[in-house]
Structure 1
Amino acid sequence: MDVLVPLERHHRPQPPAPGGAGGGTPLVFADPAEATDWLTREHANLLALTRHAAEADLPEYAADLPAILWRHLKRRLPAQEALGLGLDALRATRELGSPAREAAALRHLGLVQYQLGDFPQALDLLHRALELQRLTGNRSGEAHVLANLGLTLTRTGRLEEALGHHREALRLARELPEPAVESIALTNLGPTLTRLGRMQEALERHREALEFHRSGGNRLGQAIALNQFGEHQQRLNRPPEALDLYQEALELHRDLGDTFGQAESHTLLGDALLAMDAPESALRHYRAAVEFLPHTGERYNLGRIHVGLARTHLRLGEPDLARKHAGLAAGIHGALGIPEADEARALLAALSE
């Protein structure tokens, strides 16, 4: 994980160097691709070790293994499974009596609930993490949680509140300085500003975030920023420009073996192609997204896929299939209680007339 996301090195628990009779020589990875390959090969073993640590009453390992791996697990592991690991980790931090570990576990658990679409629970966990970070005087941790709160509030439509959290996270990150949190805050600012209609400021933030990730060699950050920049271009009715950005993001997500990211890029490519009046090509991308996404438990984007499929089948002259997908989208987004539910319901109503 230090090779894959070097900016976050000091946020991860650092194990002692191998030593003694059974120590051996630690593995060294030449580049992120090699590190990704190793994680892919050892994924099942790492999960088994993490579960075993919880069952065998080894709280330090039960707390620290998920904390080290959480970003990898977030992009690869079904959210329901990640939820179990997160709850085990939280119990372990409390058994250890470690507020610093507990704050990290609460934050990670909040992000799992965000992925599952339980935004009230996500906000509650993140606020508890924020309180602990402030109590322990961890300003870096405080900035990290503020950035995550901004992300969650954006998803629920509380945009001005979200913007305040993002800006405070960015201010703290630059004051410390804290490049890992600066990268997250920059990445999250652009989409919030785009949704608020502040397009010029959003453009500046999208470009700044992309340059930040490129200069730091953060390929996952680049992929996320490219998708978000593409959405900004699409809001400006520039689908060809958006298409190029989404395609570049998809290639990066593929190289990283990022299941969640590939689903998101395919969904966005479908949106751009549909806007360019290429419904057959859009359909291929939406179907590819369906192949990648459902097992992750990420419901927001699953709803978006169904909206895209509904619009695509309507364009292809298949109203029954369009109604089916619009109904699924309305059900998912309605259950999440997010602003996009209105769009899905309006689409369903129009198709049902």
Structure 2
Amino acid sequence: MTQRHLLLEQTVLDFVPKTRRNGLLALGQVKKFPFFCFYLLIVTSVLHPLAANAVDITEQLHRPLNSSFGRQSRDEADALLRVGEQQYASGYPDKAIDSGLQALDIYHWLSDYKAQGLTYDLLARAYIQLGRDKEGENALRRRLAIARDTQDFQAQIFALNNLATLLLQAGETVAAGNTVQEAITIAHNVKNIAGEGLSLSNFGLVTARLGDYNKAIKLYEKALTFRRQTRDTQGEINTLNNLGDAYLAAGNYPDTIGTYGAAMGMAKILGDRTNQLRSIDGLVTAHSAVGRYERAFELLQQRLIISQELQNQQEELNSFASYAQLYEQLGNYPTARNFYERAIILSQTLEDSKQEILLRDRLTQMLKNPK
């Protein structure tokens, strides 16, 4: 199952757009560079929806309390929440939801709003990882309501960013923009530097989605100043990759290469392979666009090595597909065909029929209509 993550900066969704379209790099298609598919949620830590007929949180929250429940203690609720966090971290979001809902019942009975807020954080992450986005949004809105009631401005900032990210992923761009602008205002008013950096970066994503890349670039550059003040290296890497996306879409290749290069170097030091691969993808596209094919091939070799070291077949497939596209672009059709076929074999291994169809179609088109 492909995981989606909420970034854990006070449980924050720092949206990371995919740099691929159906697993293939957009080589030679820079003007249509794919800003937003989905990857993550959020530290990086973007799921196959699972069938679930879950009862609404409100119904579960307000179901009648029996006598045995009334005797449960705060210690029991705290233990349930800890277990839920452990279950989520261990890759069992469904079990984390069960534990979280039990804890939520007790915290409601105790009128402990702060603990309810923390529990909604857990539930939101778990629901979203399972692809149950509506329930995740419900949990996020309840988390936000509690933060407003208790005047917890930091929690409001992060909840708003989480909600904006989820709305952006659902294609509700205007709503996402309004939500993240509210977060920017609060962060600025209370001088929350970390929150302002995150919010500006996410607003850059909204602006880029609307096609205003120059404005997005300014927002990312401003966000970087705040993220560097707080020494938020992980956040800085993410914003640098976003900035690289915007430069690439705007056709500014020198700044594209410099920005992605900086992100790649920092990600390598942190051991953040996800962002490292993302930077490499952007660099391959940029170097190819200006005819620096030798450098593009060097980067693809790095990409393939990282994928194999991670034993990540999906990323290995993506590497083969990128090789195939680049060789196709250069007119080396026999080698391109070889890499397409290797990618197709991996798609079959992964039982990814959609990807297999896409790759076969691309190969067929290449063989019928060589450029």
Q: Fold match, TM over 0.5? A: yes
**1:270 and 2:328 equivalent?**
no
Residue by residue over 1:122-157, the C-alpha shift from the partner in whole angstroms, topping out at 9 and shown as x without a partner, is: 212211211221222212200111111112322332
Distance, in Å, in 2 between the alignment partners of 1:23 and 1:126 is 31
Structure 1 residues 10 and 307, CA, compared in 2 at 3 Å: closer, same or farther? Answer: closer
Query: AA paired with 2:222?
Result: E
Determine which of 301, 304, 307 is the counterpart of 1:247.
304
Residue by residue over 1:53-78, the C-alpha shift from the partner in whole angstroms, topping out at 9 and shown as x without a partner, is: 5566364344324647978876x431
Structure 1 residues 230 and 62, CA, compared in 2 at 3 Å: closer, same or farther? Answer: farther
- Are the equivalent residues in 2 in contact too, given 1:151–1:188 (CA < 8 A)? yes
Structure 1 residues 226 and 271, CA, compared in 2 at 3 Å: closer, same or farther? Answer: closer
Q: How does 1:45-84 map to 2 (within 5 A)?
A: 45-52=95-102, 57=108, 59-65=113-119, 67=121, 76-78=129-131, 80=133, 81-84=135-138
Structure 1 residues 250 and 101, CA, compared in 2 at 3 Å: closer, same or farther? Answer: same
Aligned equivalent of 2:151: 97
Q: Which has the higher helix share?
A: 1
Aligned equivalent of 1:39: 89
Structure 1 residues 254 and 170, CA, compared in 2 at 3 Å: closer, same or farther? Answer: farther
Aligned equivalent of 2:183: 129
Aligned equivalent of 1:314: 365
Query: AA paired with 2:94?
Result: A
Answer 1 or 2: higher relative contact order, Cα 8 Å, separation at least 6: 2
- Are the equivalent residues in 1 in contact too, given 2:93–2:130 (CA < 8 A)? no
Q: Which 5+ residue runs of structure 1 have no aligned equivalent?
A: 14-18, 28-34, 256-261, 295-301, 319-353
TM-score w.r.t. the length of structure 1 is 0.62
Determine which of 123, 140, 159 is the counterpart of 2:213.
159
Distance, in Å, in 2 between the alignment partners of 1:63 and 1:203 is 42
Aligned equivalent of 1:183: 237
Range that drifts further, 96-105 or 265-274: 265-274
Aligned equivalent of 1:280: 341
Structure showing greater radius of gyration is: 2
- Are the equivalent residues in 1 in contact too, given 2:204–2:217 (CA < 8 A)? yes
SS of residue matched to 1:83 = helix
Q: Which 5+ residue runs of structure 2 have no aligned equivalent?
A: 13-73, 328-335
The alpha carbon displacement at 1:163 in A equals 0.1
SS of residue matched to 2:90 = helix
**1:213 and 2:267 equivalent?**
yes
Structure 1 residues 126 and 217, CA, compared in 2 at 3 Å: closer, same or farther? Answer: same
Residue by residue over 1:294-315, the C-alpha shift from the partner in whole angstroms, topping out at 9 and shown as x without a partner, is: 9xxxxxxx9xx99777544534
Query: AA paired with 1:97?
Result: Q
Distance, in Å, in 1 between the alignment partners of 2:228 and 2:169 is 28
Distance, in Å, in 2 between the alignment partners of 1:252 and 1:194 is 29
Distance, in Å, in 1 between the alignment partners of 2:305 and 2:120 is 30
- Are the equivalent residues in 2 in contact too, given 1:106–1:129 (CA < 8 A)? yes
The alpha carbon displacement at 1:234 in A equals 4.5
Aligned equivalent of 2:38: none
Range that drifts further, 190-199 or 240-249: 240-249
SS of residue matched to 2:191 = coil
Distance, in Å, in 2 between the alignment partners of 1:152 and 1:253 is 32
TM-score w.r.t. the length of structure 2 is 0.60
Query: AA paired with 1:127?
Result: Q
Range that drifts further, 125-134 or 160-169: 125-134
Structure 1 residues 221 and 142, CA, compared in 2 at 3 Å: closer, same or farther? Answer: same
Percent identity, aligned pairs only, is 16
Query: AA paired with 1:168?
Result: K
The alpha carbon displacement at 1:165 in A equals 0.5
Structure 1 residues 87 and 291, CA, compared in 2 at 3 Å: closer, same or farther? Answer: farther
Query: AA paired with 1:93?
Result: A
Distance, in Å, in 2 between the alignment partners of 1:72 and 1:221 is 23
Determine which of 113, 128, 139 is the counterpart of 1:85.
139
